[in-house]
A and B are shown apart, each in its own frame.
Chain A
Amino acid sequence: AQKITQTQPGMFVQEKEAVTLDCTYDTSDPSYGLFWYKQPSSGEMIFLIYQGSYDQQNATEGRYSLNFQKARKSANLVISASQLGDSAMYFCAMREGTDRGSTLGRLYFGRGTQLTVWP
């Protein structure tokens, strides 16, 4: 089974509007971390935001926030006030376990959502 599911292959949003990119995850480990990365057309992977499974508050980083709904196993990325430079591929990823676990930091990635911001 897929550990990370991103159901939106592509999303379009007008500049200055907010957009939500969906991500659901599958794990039986009580300790895990959820990540969002941005990949612009130049190809590099840019870390955006992180949410730990025990974090009480939703993570925020500037215009990015992570809508974490643990019971639903969802970790949606919300981008407020979209900018043209936000056009990119966005990946949701998960790490299971802790440093003492066997997974040792490996990330499981979703297939990505291509976001296009139009003027």
Chain B
Amino acid sequence: NAGVTQTPKFRVLKTGQSMTLLCAQDMNHEYMYWYRQDPGMGLRLIHYSVGEGTTAKGEVPDGYNVSRLKKQNFLLGLESAAPSQTSVYFCASMVHAPGSYEQYFGPGTRLTVT
């Protein structure tokens, strides 16, 4: 099992450019999450999904869109990147089962917007 993978690992964008971050998991997890990590801030939830075809906003959703067309993939889109979106982005997944609690994190994507 590869677990949770993220593509790309690093990216530099210019202000106004768009891009999509891909998260893939091979554990058949129902729940998937996108977080961002900024210095001194810990991780904050951007969007999440409880199943294929469903998404919901988290704590800091502005400027981002997401899609979950397939259960194993969760895409995070930036339509018009801004310097404030410079951050490290983490994807996570979790199984939906009684007693389950661990979220499995991907390795992160470091995004710089200039």
| Residues of chain A whose beta carbon lies under 8 Å from any beta carbon of chain B | 4, 33, 35, 37, 43-45, 47, 50, 52, 91, 93, 95, 99, 104-107, 109-112
How many A-B pairs have beta carbons closer than 8 Å: the answer is: 61
Q: Does B94 touch A at the CB level, under 8 Å?
A: yes
Instruction: Verify A33–B50 contact, CB threshold 8 A.
Output: no
Instruction: Verify A44–B101 contact, CB threshold 8 A.
Output: no
Q: Give which listed residue, A33, A43, A99, contacts B98 with CB less than 8 A.
A: A99
On whether A111 and B42 interact (CB within 8 A), knowing A43-B88, A106-B48, the answer reads: yes
B 42-54 binary contact with A (CB < 8 Å = 1; else 0):
1111001010000
Q: Chain A CB within 10 Å — which of B43, B44, B97, B108 has the most?
A: B43
| A112 partner residues in chain B, CB cutoff 8 A | 40, 42
Instruction: Verify A43–B108 contact, CB threshold 8 A.
Output: yes
Q: How far is the CA of A104 from the CA of B93 in the complex (A)?
A: 12
Beyond A37-B105, A45-B43, A106-B48, 4 extra complex contacts between A and B, CB < 8 Å: A104-B31, A105-B94, A110-B42, A112-B42
Distance in Å: Cβ of A116 to nearest Cβ of chain B: 17
Distance in Å: Cβ of B37 to nearest Cβ of chain A: 8
| Residues of chain B whose beta carbon lies under 8 Å from any beta carbon of chain A | 31, 33, 35, 40-45, 48, 50, 56, 58, 88, 90, 92, 94, 96-98, 100-105, 107-108, 110
Between A and B, 5 residue pairs with Cβ closer than 8 Å are A105-B48, A106-B45, A107-B35, A109-B43, A112-B42
Instruction: Verify B48–A104 contact, CB threshold 8 A.
Output: yes
Distance in Å: Cβ of A119 to nearest Cβ of chain B: 28
Instruction: Verify B41–A111 contact, CB threshold 8 A.
Output: yes
Instruction: Verify A104–B42 contact, CB threshold 8 A.
Output: no
Instruction: Verify A95–B101 contact, CB threshold 8 A.
Output: yes
Q: Chain B CB within 10 Å — which of A45, A105, A107 has the most?
A: A105
Distance in Å: Cβ of A57 to nearest Cβ of chain B: 16
Q: How far is the CA of A37 from the CA of B31 in the complex (A)?
A: 19
| B88 partner residues in chain A, CB cutoff 8 A | 43
Q: How far is the CA of A78 from the CA of B90 in the complex (A)?
A: 26
Distance in Å: Cβ of A7 to nearest Cβ of chain B: 13
Distance in Å: Cβ of B3 to nearest Cβ of chain A: 11
| A107 partner residues in chain B, CB cutoff 8 A | 33, 35, 43, 45, 92, 103
